[in-house]
Amino acid sequence: GENVEQHPSTLSVQEGDSAVIKCTYSDSASNYFPWYKQELGKGPQLIIDIRSNVGEKKDQRIAVTLNKTAKHFSLHITETQPEDSAVYFCAAPSTSGTYKYIFGTGTRLKVLA
């Protein structure tokens, strides 16, 4: 069945350094890959997404890259700040007759001041 694996589960970086989180997916027909940020006590919020017709998308300090051949996509955060500390989730839609989303297990990012 469909599966999304996310690594690492925890990540600590010094303020100003970069952070990279990687997800792999199994459904080759998936065509939309969002990244969500969840702060404590809140629902997840979309920070960036990419569709399968492009290989990279950037929004200020955040970028997402997609490798369809290898079936993985990554979140890149540059010049990290303490407010980037949160849990990040990747997701991919299941397209085998349904449109539910499969979420990764999450990465807890800590940016150390």
Partner 1 sequence: GAGVSQSPSNKVTEKGKDVELRCDPISGHTALYWYRQRLGQGLEFLIYFQGNSAPDKSGLPSDRFSAERTGESVSTLTIQRTQQEDSAVYLCASSPQLINEQFFGPGTRLTVL
**Residue numbers of the site for partner 1 (CB under 8 A)?**
31-32, 34, 36, 41-46, 49, 89, 93, 98-106
Structure-token pair, residue 1: 């069945």
Judged by CB, which is closer to partner 1: 41, or 83?
Answer: 41
CB of residue 10 vs partner 1: minimum separation in angstroms?
11
CB of residue 23 vs partner 1: minimum separation in angstroms?
12
Judged by CB, which is closer to partner 1: 20, or 102?
Answer: 102
Cβ–Cβ under 8 Å, residues 57 and 48? yes
97: exposed, middle or buried (Cβ count in 10 Å: 0-12, 13-18, 19+): exposed
CB of residue 9 vs partner 1: minimum separation in angstroms?
10
Nearest to 4 by CA among 84, 77, 100: 100
